[in-house]
Amino acid sequence: MAVYADPTRCPDCRTTLPPSPPTCPTCALPLTGPVVEDLFATLQKADRLLADVRASASPAPMAATPGAVPAPHPVIASLEPRRRGLSAPSVPVILLGLGAVCLLVAAVTFLAFAWAWLGVGGRTAVLVLLTAGTGVASELLRRRRLRVAAESLSLVALGLLVLDVLGAENAGWLGDPGAAGVLVALGVAVAVPSLTWTLATRGSAPLSTPQLASAVALSLVVAGWMLRTEEPYAGAAIGAALLLAVTAAARRLGLAPLVVAATASATLWWLPLTLSAFVRAADHATLAELVGQVEAWPLVVSAATLAAGSWLVRDSTAVAGAGFGGAATLATLLPVIAAADNNGADLALVLVAATLVWSVALVRLRSGHRLAAAVPLSAVTAGTGLLATALVAEAATAAADLFADPWTHPWAVRLGPVESIEPTGAPAAMLAPLVVAAAVAVLAGRLAFRGRSPAVPNLLVRAAAGGMLVVAAVAAASEVPLAVVLALAVAAGVGLVAWGVRRGDRTSVPDVAVGAATLATALLCALASAGLTAVVAGLLLLVAVGVVLRPARDDVAMLAVLVAPPLFALAGWAGTELAPVPDAWRAAPLVLALGLVITRFPMPELEITAIAAGATVAALSVVSAVHPEDALAAYLTLGGALLVASSIVNVERRFLAWAGGALLAAATWVRLWDAGVTTPEAYTMPTALALLAVGATRLARDRAADTWSTISAGLLLATVPSLVTVVTAATGGPVSLRSLLLGLGCLALALAGAAMRWSAPLLVGAGVGLVLVLREWGPYAAAVPPWVVIGVAGSLLLVVGVTWEARLQELRRGAAYLARLR
């Protein structure tokens, strides 16, 4: 049987070797050194894997007999072990990155201390030598294909180049350039060598750091020019255009990092240009100023820049369509801004017209270009919806106590007339065309992207619901009872939800979503009356239960399950508002009912919102109680008992016992706090001992159990609170009794963990003890110069990172050599 790891043969030419040869006598292959040892270990691993493959092979097939079933083909498990933790190539990345940052920090700190006594010549020599040395070292490492090390040193070189410019300006060599001149000098000093370096090495894998730095440097040049000329609009436009041109050139040259950096920088210039263009257009919103005085040019330039950037990525249909759509949206905003300056009626008319125009364009454009019309259509439809919402909100301003002071009326609330509808200035009659325009936009989107028109019954149901909502909004501006408006809104919402779930296998999510939003709005408006709140919340609870019982889609049913507990809690809380129930115990029956529900129906979506709703009403009861400490302890006990009961009844909910136990422990803590006990160990030690007892019992029963999942929680609870108390204590005094006892406990944990080979006590004791020791050593650490520590750490990290990457490269060469063996 042949083997790969044969010490008597050359691994390359397979010639028989003499005893202990330094090189192969036939092919002169070196046979000593760490790389050869790694290669031999790899060959030995290949022999072991080959033996495993032979052992897992099936036996020779036997002659088939009548009625015999052939044995299944054996399935060989994957020989590649599952990777855990950091991969080997990521280690030098971390080391070299930390080393580069440490060296830069050390250089800045050193120069800050040594700048006064180095002199002009010393300063120049140090800065030039450091910059040139790191740059040359980076290029040499790049040529040796140690890319991570080269990137790290290139970052150090560029950082030192920035220090060169700042040092020259501090020494007065640049005259008095001001902040603008310094920015321009920094940009030019970094951009020129970075671009030159990138273009010079374009054919042989250029580094990414100079490409990224060049984009930032060009932005600094533009920022300096903008500060000098005090032209913010022109500076932002020039910066976006310049970086966009760099993006186009980098795409043609195949420089992917420069493309990303230049695109990001162009976006960072385009965003303030667009925002300032909005501000300028809003300040000069009349048509004469926007067009006659050309105050709209920043917005036009922003739209043109976005269109040009979209043209660069035209090979990606989705991205280009979104970009062109954004440019069209900016162009559409000009008439919208001009109309908004006149009055609300003109704004409504312009929004309706723009919605219709872009709806027609969306339907008429080809499928690949529809996104360019969908984006502005979505924007103007959103504006239409906002204006319609503003009209609805202004129509309901007569009910001023809806949110200011909820539940001020037991039942009846009569709305007053709305004298004027401000600030939009649009009459309530504009609500109907706005709703129709939004409906047309939705239909256009359906025709464009789904390819079929909706059925007539769907249109009728939705039109009826929309009409009821419009009538409710207009009625809110008249002297009618609030119950009438709520009845119209609830009827429309319930109708849409019922129509959406009429066929469980084909639930209409848009209908359900609009109906749910309508019902939520009705519930919000009902807050003026406790009785109306209880009624509307109860109706919504019945709708949610009906959706759950109806075989609707899973996501719709899950949403109904999620909202059912809060609706129950709200209805119950509003109902107890009308009943003579003490404030401290109003939440008790609600919490009990919610706990029994999650015990009977253990579903995650129900448990989450039920626990949240129960906690909310319990908190309200505690806040409004005469003796809040007693109420808090009672509700913590009730909640903990319900969670523990659910964990006992339902096997799959055993984890709730931990939360229940925590609530019961918190109830005890409240009692201790009420009694005036402030020592932290009195709160933590009983629970910690209980957790340790449970974990020790599990370890005794289950030999396969690990210490982290069994006793780590108890260990952390027993040590960390005491550690926090020690760390936050005042410094300067002798070691306290708590520190001494905690240190002895950590020592005992570490020794016991090492003796019993348990990782949890060993690591917890060592970790907490280390923090405790560092806390005691802290006041004396300030005497060490910080730049010395940082510089030594950075140098060590760089050396280790470069060595690691070099060894990885040698290992890859060895693996490639192994793969070529026959």
Chain centroid to CA 791: 34
Q: At what angle do helices 712-727 and 737-756 cross, to 10 degrees?
A: 150
- Cβ atoms of 484 and 475 within 8 Å: the answer is yes
Distance (Å, whole) CA 535 – CA 482: 13
- Per DSSP, the residues of 681-698 read HHHHHHHHHHHHHHHHHH
Strand, coil or helix: 426: coil
* Least confident stretch, 374-383, 386-395, 465-474, 557-566: 465-474
Which phi and psi angles does 18 have, rounded to 5°?
Answer: -75, 170
**Between these two residues, 149 and 491, which has the higher pLDDT value?**
491
Strand, coil or helix: 739: helix
- The closest of 754, 658, 636, 750 to 709, measured between CA atoms, is 658
Q: Which residues pair with 529 in a beta bridge?
A: 409
Distance (Å, whole) CA 468 – CA 263: 49
Burial environment of residue 740 by CB neighbours within 10 A (0 to 12, 13 to 18, 19 or more): exposed
What's the chain's length in residues? 822
Chain centroid to CA 584: 40
Distance (Å, whole) CA 45 – CA 55: 15
Take residue 110 and report the two structure tokens written for it. 């050193």
For 415-456, the pLDDT digits (tens) are: 655 544 444 566 666 776 777 788 788 778 777 776 655 565
Assess whether pLDDT exceeds 70 at residue 230. Answer: yes
Determine how many CB atoms are found less than 10 A away from the CB of residue 620: 15
Taking the CA of residue 576 as centre, how many other CA atoms within 13 Å lie in the half-sphere pointing to its CB?
Answer: 18
Distance (Å, whole) CA 703 – CA 682: 33
Which phi and psi angles does 16 have, rounded to 5°?
Answer: -65, 130
- The closest of 261, 99, 271 to 191, measured between CA atoms, is 261
- Per DSSP, the residues of 530-594 read HHHHHHHHHHHHHHHHHHHHTT--HHHHHHHHHHHHHHHHHHHHHHHHHTT--GGGSSHHHHHHH
Q: At what angle do helices 256-283 and 297-312 cross, to 10 degrees?
A: 160
- Cβ atoms of 454 and 387 within 8 Å: the answer is no
pLDDT at 454: 58
Q: Across 228-237, 450-459, 610-619, 639-648, which has the greatest mean pLDDT?
A: 610-619
Mean pLDDT of 578-588: 78
For 35-59, the pLDDT digits (tens) are: 777 788 788 888 777 777 777 654 4
Take residue 735 and report the two structure tokens written for it. 């070691």
Burial environment of residue 721 by CB neighbours within 10 A (0 to 12, 13 to 18, 19 or more): middle
Chain centroid to CA 210: 29
For 111-170, the pLDDT digits (tens) are: 555 555 566 566 667 777 778 888 888 888 888 877 777 888 888 888 888 877 877 777
- Cβ atoms of 135 and 154 within 8 Å: the answer is yes
Take residue 181 and report the two structure tokens written for it. 């001149």
Give me Rg for the CA atoms of the chain: 37
For 756-795, the pLDDT digits (tens) are: 878 888 888 888 887 877 776 655 555 555 555 556 666 7
Contacts of 817 by beta carbon, 8 Å cutoff, 6+ apart = 11, 12, 39
The percent of residues in the chain predicted with pLDDT above 70, rounded, is 75
Take residue 622 and report the two structure tokens written for it. 């505690």
Take residue 33 and report the two structure tokens written for it. 């050194």
Chain centroid to CA 70: 54
Q: Tell me whether the omega of the peptide bond preceding residue 11 falls within 30 degrees of 0, making it cis.
A: no
pLDDT at 275: 86
Q: Which amino acid is at 806?
A: A
Assess whether pLDDT exceeds 80 at residue 407. Answer: no
Q: Which CB contacts under 8 angstroms, 24+ apart, belong to 567-570?
A: 567/537, 567/538, 567/540, 567/541, 568/537, 568/541, 568/593, 568/594, 568/613, 569/594, 569/613, 569/614, 569/616, 569/617, 570/523, 570/533, 570/537
Take residue 370 and report the two structure tokens written for it. 């529809």
Contacts of 725 by beta carbon, 8 Å cutoff, 6+ apart = 680, 738
Q: Which amino acid is at 185?
A: A
- The closest of 486, 382, 489 to 434, measured between CA atoms, is 382
For 52-102, the pLDDT digits (tens) are: 777 765 444 444 444 444 444 443 333 344 443 344 455 555 555 556 666
Chain centroid to CA 682: 39
Burial 667-696 (b: 16+ CB within 10 A, else e): bbbbbeeeeeeeeeeebbeebbeebbebbe
Distance (Å, whole) CA 426 – CA 344: 4
Q: Which amino acid is at 387?
A: L
Q: Within the chain, how many helices (H) and strands (E) appear?
A: 28, 0
pLDDT at 65: 41
Mean pLDDT of 502-527: 77
pLDDT at 110: 60
- The closest of 425, 434, 532, 437 to 489, measured between CA atoms, is 532
Mean pLDDT of 330-341: 82
Distance (Å, whole) CA 78 – CA 82: 9
What pTM was computed for the model?
A: 0.48
